[in-house]
């Protein structure tokens, strides 16, 4: 049986270099294969969970899930950290922008070049969840102003932070310097930057999709009005390659209420494997660990 090839790269990243890497991941010819590589970072003095997340373009939540036995809040020099830069593509059209809420990732597929760019995002908080949708970009805005909704104004006022009717462009604007309005609904949802990068990788917005400033600036230059956008919520991703190898990538399920879905596991996509006598207990354990990295669970004969 062909084995999953995982490349562990030993990388040294001084804290002073903790800046964004925007690099494409090549799409494999066999679309059932995982994309990217698992990396191993050796911590140096000054490294933090936030700086590693931003440099590698991985949400802090995914870093924590990939390192369940590590204390990433108090990184020590020499400590090894698994960087989950290998993934399965979401079940969606590989065009334009695809957002998978469950993994807090945005995928951008340039037209016909066999690559995908992957970015961490922040999404809607509990009670203001980002909805699933199939839509498009309807408006591109550089240095946007922000008109808070009445609900948002009340929320800020309750914290002693009154908001003006319109927040001008500038360092106090939570939309950052770039915003892309979506055509869904009444246009209340945006993909935008932020003036608080620590919110990226969390459920912290009022429903919009937040990106690091350097990421949204790059994406803004690649897309335009009309670019398709798909937002899905896939906590369990499954794929089978041409050799019959089946991979599973599991994340903690998200619901609008913020609670994990405790219903029995949906094993539909894995039924062919189970019917051939695969170890169901092993498969369930991989799924329940929710480490957010593709794992080989069996092979179809």
The CATH number of the domain holding residue 16 is 3.10.350.10
Ranges 37-46, 159-168, 178-187, 257-266: which has the least confidence: 257-266
Q: Where are the alpha helices (DSSP H) in the chain?
A: 49-56, 60-66, 150-158, 213-222, 271-275, 280-289
Expressed as residue numbers, the domain containing 76 is 9-87
Residue 152 resides in a domain: yes
Boundary (domain end) residue, out of 232, 254, 288: 232
Cα separation, 109 vs 227, in Å, equals 11
Cα separation, 130 vs 103, in Å, equals 13
Boundary (domain end) residue, out of 87, 108, 127: 87
In the predicted structure, residue 51 carries a pLDDT above the cut 80: yes
- The 10s digit of each residue's pLDDT in 222-234 is 999 999 999 999 9
Sheet of 295-299: strand order equals: 236-240, 245-250, 295-299
In the predicted structure, residue 3 carries a pLDDT above the cut 50: no
Do 117 and 76 lie in one domain? The reply is: no
Do 114 and 224 lie in one domain? The reply is: yes
277 — pLDDT class (breaks 50, 70, 90): confident
- Catalytic sites, residue numbers: 192, 208
Do 165 and 224 lie in one domain? The reply is: yes
Do 142 and 172 lie in one domain? The reply is: yes
Residue 38 resides in a domain: yes
Residue 129 resides in a domain: yes
Do 169 and 151 lie in one domain? The reply is: yes
- The 10s digit of each residue's pLDDT in 86-113 is 999 999 999 999 999 999 999 999 987 7
Residue 146 is given by DSSP the state B
Whether the model pTM is above 0.85: yes
Cα separation, 20 vs 124, in Å, equals 23
Do 258 and 203 lie in one domain? The reply is: no
C-alpha distance across the termini of the chain, in Å: 10
């Amino acid at each position: 049986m062909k084995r999953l090839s995982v490349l562990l790269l030993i990388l040294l990243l001084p804290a002073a270099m903790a800046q964004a890497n925007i690099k494409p991941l090549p799409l494999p010819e066999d679309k059932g294969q995982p994309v990217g590589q698992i990396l191993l970072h050796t911590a140096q003095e000054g490294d933090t969970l936030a700086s590693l997340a931003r440099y590698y373009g991985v949400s802090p939540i995914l870093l924590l899930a990939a390192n369940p036995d590590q204390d990433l809040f108090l990184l020590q020099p020499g400590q090894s950290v698994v960087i989950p830069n290998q993934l399965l593509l979401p079940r969606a059209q590989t065009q334009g922008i695809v957002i998978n809420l469950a993994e807090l990732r945005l995928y951008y597929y340039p037209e016909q070049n066999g690559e995908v760019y992957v970015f961490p995002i922040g999404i809607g908080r509990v009670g203001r969840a980002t909805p699933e949708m199939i839509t498009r970009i309807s408006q591109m805005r550089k240095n946007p102003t922000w008109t808070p909704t009445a609900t948002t104004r009340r929320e800020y006022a309750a914290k002693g932070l009154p908001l003006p009717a319109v927040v001008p462009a500038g360092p106090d604007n939570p939309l950052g310097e770039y915003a892309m309005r979506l055509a869904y609904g009444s246009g209340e949802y945006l993909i935008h930057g932020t003036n608080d990068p620590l919110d990226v990788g969390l459920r912290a917005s009022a429903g919009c999709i937040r990106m690091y400033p350097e990421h949204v600036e790059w994406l803004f230059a690649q897309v335009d009005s009309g670019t398709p956008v798909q937002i899905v919520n896939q906590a369990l991703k499954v794929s089978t390659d041409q050799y019959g190898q089946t991979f599973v990538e599991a994340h903690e399920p998200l619901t609008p209420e913020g609670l994990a879905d405790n219903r029995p596991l949906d094993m539909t996509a894995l039924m062919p494997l189970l019917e051939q006598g695969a170890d169901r207990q092993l498969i369930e354990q991989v799924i329940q660990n929710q480490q957010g990295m593709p794992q080989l669970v069996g092979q179809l004969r």
